[in-house]
Amino acid sequence: MFKRFYIVLFLGICQLVFSQKPIDSLLAELDKSIEKEKTYTHQKHTKINELIKKLNSVQNDQELYGIYKGLSKYYDVFIADSAQYYTVKSISIADKLNNKSFISESNIQLARIKAKAGMFPVALDILKKIDKKSLQHSQLVDYYKAYLEVYIYWIEYQDGRDVNDLIVEKNSIQDSLIKILPKESYEYAINYGIKNIELKNFKDAETSLLGAFKFVKKDTREFSILNSIIAYLYESQNKTEKQKEFLARSAISDIHAAVKENIALRTLAILLFDDGDNTRANLYIKQSLEDANFYNARLRNIQIARVLPIIDKAYQLDKEKQEKKLRLLLIIVSILSVVLLIAIIFVINQIKKVSKAKKELTKTNIKLNDLNNELQLANERQALTNRSLAEANHIKEEYIKSFLEICTEYIDRLENFKSIVNRKIKTGQTADIIKMTTSSAQDSTKELKELYNNFDKAFLKIYPNFVEEINKLLRPEEQYPTNNDLNLNQELRVFALIRLGVTNNNQIATFLHYTLRTIYNYRSKVKSKAINPDDNFELLVQKIGTSQSLT
C-alpha cells in the first residue's frame, strides 16, 4: 500500500516538474534579477568611477581622449546626459588634436546618442557631415550602424504611422552594412537575420541568429540585443510563448549588465498584460519606466507612457477584486471562528469527562502493571532457576561421563596389569614383578602428567570457553593464549578447580601434588593480572559458564 502511495506521489511530482514551462522559470529568474537591480547598477557606477579617477593622472590629450571615449561607451545605454557630455568632451579633444579619425568616431557616437534621445533629424545631420570615404573599415561599420539605429528608433517612435519612407531608408542602409560585414561575425548574423525576418525567410533567419550566440557573452548588451531580435523572429511567426521566453532572457541580461536603455522588459510587460498576468505586467512596466527615467531619454519615456496607464489601471482593478475577496474571506473566517469557539467549548467539556474516566482507568492500569511486574519477576526467577538446574544437570552429566571414562581406563589398565602379573608368576619371573610394582620418580611424573591431561580434557569438555572467559577478566597484555589442544597450564588448572568449587588451598595442593606455597603464588599471580584485582575476581571465575556469567 505504501509502495503504491510513493509511486503515485513520485509521478505527481514528476508531472508538476515537467509540466512547468521554460517561461515560468525564466520569469521567476527575472523577478529575482529585478530585486537585485540596485546591486547591478551600483556595480556599474563603481566601474565608471574607477575610470573617472584616471582623469587625475592623465599624461597627454591622446590619453584623455581615450578615457572620454571609454566613459561615453560606459554611459551609452546607462545615462544619456552623461554619455552626451563625455562624447562632446571627446569631440573637443579630437578637434584639439586635429585627429580626423577621432573626430569622425566621436561624431558617430554623438549621432547614436541623439537617436536614442529621439532627436532623429539632428542625428542624421551629424552623420551626413561625416566623410565616409575617409573612414577606416571598423569606423565605416559603426557609421552604417549609427545610421541604421537612427531609422530603427525613428520607426519605433512613429508607432506605425508614416513609416514607409523610413523603412525604405532603413533597408537601404542595412543592405550597405551587410555588404561590408564579415560573414563570420555577430553584426552580420543579426543584420542578416533581421533582413530575413522582414523577407519572411524565417528558417534562414533562425539559423543565422541562433548561430550568433557563439560570438557573444552572457549578461552583455550584445547578448540582450540578440535575444531581443530572436523574440522578434518568433513574434513574426505568432509563436508568443517562444517570444516571451527570449524577451525574458534579454530583460535578465539587460538588468545584469545595468542597461537602462532597453525595450525587452516593456514588450514583455505588454504580452503578460494580454495574458492577464497584471501583477507581473505592472511590476515590469514600472521597472521599465524607472529605467527610462534613469536613462533620461525622451523616446523610451514616450513609449512607456502609452501603455503604463492601461496596465496600471488593470492592475488596480485586480487589486480591488483581491481586496473584495479578502473581505469576503474575512467574514467567512469570522463566522468559522465563532463556530470553532463553540466546538472548542464542547470539546473541552468532553475532554474533562474523558480525563476523569482516564484517571480511573490509569489507576486500574497501574495496579495491573504492578501485578504484571510481579508476575514477570517471578517468571524471570523461575527461568533463572530452570537455567541453573539445566546447567547443573549438564555439568553432572559431563562429570559422570568423564568419571566413567577415567574409571573404565583404569580398570582396563588394572586388568592388563593383573594379566601380566599372573603370567610372570606362572613363569617364575618374580624379580620382574618386584620391579614392576616398585614405583620410580619417572613413573610418578608420568602418572601425574596423565592425571593432569585427563583432568584438563574433562574440564574443558564441560567448560570449553573457560580460557576465553578468564581472559575477559584480565588486562589485554596479561591474557593467556588460546588453543585447541585441550590442555591447561598450572595457573589455569588451579582456577579450574576453583571454578569446580574447590577453593581450599590444601585440597588444591593435594589434588595437583603442589606445595601450599605454589598454590598461593599461582592464585596471587593470576589475580594481579586482573582488570579488577579484588576479592570478587574468584567469585567471577566461579560464575563462568553459568547464566550469571558476566559474558
Q: What is the mean pLDDT of the chain?
A: 84
Report which of 94, 97, 57, 53 is spatially closest to residue 71, judged by C-alpha positions: 53
pLDDT of amino acid 407 = 63
Is residue 59 predicted with pLDDT exceeding 80?
yes
pLDDT of amino acid 19 = 45
pLDDT digits (tens, 9 = 90+) for 365-399: 888 888 888 888 877 877 776 676 666 566 656 65
Is residue 319 predicted with pLDDT exceeding 70?
no
Is residue 131 predicted with pLDDT exceeding 80?
yes
Mean pLDDT of 496-515: 87
Instruction: Kindly give, in sequence order, each residue whose CB lies less than 8 Å from that of residue 167, ignoring residues fewer than 6 positions away.
Output: 151, 155
Mean pLDDT of 474-500: 85
User: What torsion do the CA atoms of 375, 378, 384, 390 make, to the nearest 10 degrees?
Assistant: -100
Is residue 11 predicted with pLDDT exceeding 50?
no
Query: Within 438-504, where are the H helices?
Result: 441-462, 466-472, 490-499
In angstroms, rounded to a whole number, what is the distance separating the alpha carbons of residues 234 and 210? 12
Q: Which of 273-282, 429-438, 452-461 has the lowest mean pLDDT?
A: 429-438
In angstroms, rounded to a whole number, what is the distance separating the alpha carbons of residues 324 and 329? 9
pLDDT of amino acid 551 = 44
Rg of the chain taking only CA atoms, in angstroms: 53
pLDDT of amino acid 13 = 45
Mean pLDDT of 257-265: 89
**8-state DSSP, 548:** T
Element (H, E) at 7: helix 2-19
Mean pLDDT of 332-347: 89
Residue 492: pLDDT band (50, 70, 90) is: confident
In angstroms, rounded to a whole number, what is the distance separating the alpha carbons of residues 135 and 133? 6
pLDDT of amino acid 403 = 56
pLDDT of amino acid 14 = 44
pLDDT of amino acid 215 = 94
- 377: exposed, middle or buried (C-beta count within 10 Å: 0-12, 13-18, 19+)? exposed
Is residue 428 predicted with pLDDT exceeding 50?
yes
pLDDT of amino acid 441 = 52
User: What torsion do the CA atoms of 11, 17, 21, 24 make, to the nearest 10 degrees?
Assistant: 150
